[in-house]
Amino acid sequence: MPSPIHSRRRFLSLAAGAALLAPLARLSAAEKEPDRKPVSDGSTKPFAPTDLGPLGYRPVVTLNGATLPWKMVDGAKVFHLVAEPVTHEFAPGLVAECWGYNGRVHGPTIEAVEGDRVRIYVTNRLTAPTSVHWHGVLLPSGMDGVGGVSQKAIQPGETFLYEFTLKQHGTLMYHSHHDEMTQMQLGMMGMFIIHPKNPTQPPPDRDFAIMLSEWKVEVGARRPDPNEMTDFNVFTMNGRSFPGTAPLLVKKGDRVRIRIGNLSTMSHHAIHLHGYYFKVVATDGGEIPLAGQWPETTVHMPTGSTRTVEFIANEPGDWVMHCHMLHHVMTQMGHTFGNMIGIETEGLNDIMRKLVPGYMTMGESGMGDMALMGMKVPPNSLPMVGGPGQFDYITMGGMFTIVKVRDELPADGSDPGWYKSPPGTLAEPATDEALKRDGIAVAALSAHLEASIGGPVELCDPNGKSPVVAKAGSPANLRVKLSMH
């Protein structure tokens, strides 16, 4: 007779397996999804109709995304959202089978004006019921879009109509509100921008919208795991991970507005912009009065919220913008191996290869060179991949992009390329003359390091020549290499 402990363990194991059957069954059924759309490849498609006269606002640019088209019918703006399976590219090399709207992940941005009457048709082409919640929008309860509470769920093949008058302006969102864990983690969300009817100031010169999200995509898998609750490994801006994120192109002197929404499943994000400070001017609750706005270089983004920031682009350059929660700028980062930092690994490869052919020790000096090693990776994966930069490989990925500020931008809206720093404004190896002028003793530093670590310190020529022992008068453009024996 099995012990009570063993019986309990078996019961828990069976219960856990049963709990997984429903979502797994849904995903198995999803493999038979009909009429799959082409790959959502990150192209940017704004919508600014020219046959309706002045819009009264400057259209928002959703980088790597689209704006949902609309038409006027009897005084109302009519939109049509289609919930459907989407084959989505997070970045070159990583494609997944997701759910989205109108052939995109994330769904296209809805853009309207305070006071508009909007009619939004939602057609369900999924294999599961769904609904759409208008996150932060003030509307009648029956239009709120919560399946089972404010409406029946939209069954596969059905089309529902949501109709309401916009009573506010601001940066809001929309997302599925039926089986939320599954549907939102598969990509069913988008931005909802409402422009003011009577603006109190001119529109910004550049108006960008960015949706933040997180995913669990196992290395080599083709389907995000919607059952994940803690261990996410793909982090995106508008559904894209760097190097798949489009840069924000800005002309010097422009007033720039960036609207950021966060519908990540569990994570907050700390979005940091280099080279500038900005003011936080609005939340999804509305505009912040001028006296209450505050300067920041990093805006905290709680999940389920939006923040709008503004700044004047007065300094040209390539300025990175990224999440400062550092694992959020790594893609499919592994964390199940031991910490190798500072460990002497000489000879370890030879020993291990007798047991594991092709073994290569990694991580003893960090992970920054991983992408340059040329190692084969599993199909459909981006393990710890960044992208090529102007000077070196960029060792960040994920929730990372670049704000490119230029005196002039290409007329066709194309990427202007890398910024060329004027003479005297680029960090470069220090010269002997500069070190001597400012009393920086490299040899003395090496001696101090040697005493600190109890081992010899070598100076290595960055051009690849043999290391030399540190001594007075060593070339100033040598980098330090620590050797411990």
Look at strands 305-312 and 255-262 and give their pairing: antiparallel
Which positions ≥6 away from 355 have C-beta within 8 Å?
Answer: none
Residue where a domain terminates, one of 323, 340, 356: 323
Question: What are 336-347's pLDDT values in tens digits?
Answer: 666 666 777 777
239 and 113 within one domain: yes
| Average pLDDT by stretches of 10, the chain with 485 residues | 43 39 36 55 77 75 96 96 96 93 96 97 97 98 96 97 98 97 96 95 94 92 90 93 95 98 95 97 95 96 97 98 89 67 75 81 65 70 81 89 96 94 94 89 68 60 45 42 40
Distance of CA 365 to the CA centre of its chain: 27
446 in any annotated domain: yes
Task: Count how many domains the chain has.
Answer: 2
**Is the peptide bond between 423 and the residue preceding it cis, with omega within 30 degrees of 0?**
no
219 and 88 within one domain: yes
Structure tokens at 420: 């060329």
Q: CB–CB of 177/136 below 8 Å?
A: no
Residues 131 and 305: their CA atoms lie apart, in Å, by 20
pTM attached to this predicted model: 0.82
Question: What are 380-391's pLDDT values in tens digits?
Answer: 887 767 788 999
**CB-side exposure of 116: number of CA atoms within 13 Å?**
25
Residue where a domain terminates, one of 302, 323, 344: 323
What are the phi and psi torsion angles at 438 (to 5°)?
A: -100, 10
Residues 269 and 399: their CA atoms lie apart, in Å, by 9
Distance of CA 298 to the CA centre of its chain: 15
174 in any annotated domain: yes
477 in any annotated domain: yes
Give residue 441's domain range: 432-482
Q: Which of 424, 406, 396, 265 is nearest to 321 (CA)?
A: 396
Q: What is the CATH number of the domain that holds 136?
A: 2.60.40.420
Q: CB–CB of 112/118 below 8 Å?
A: yes
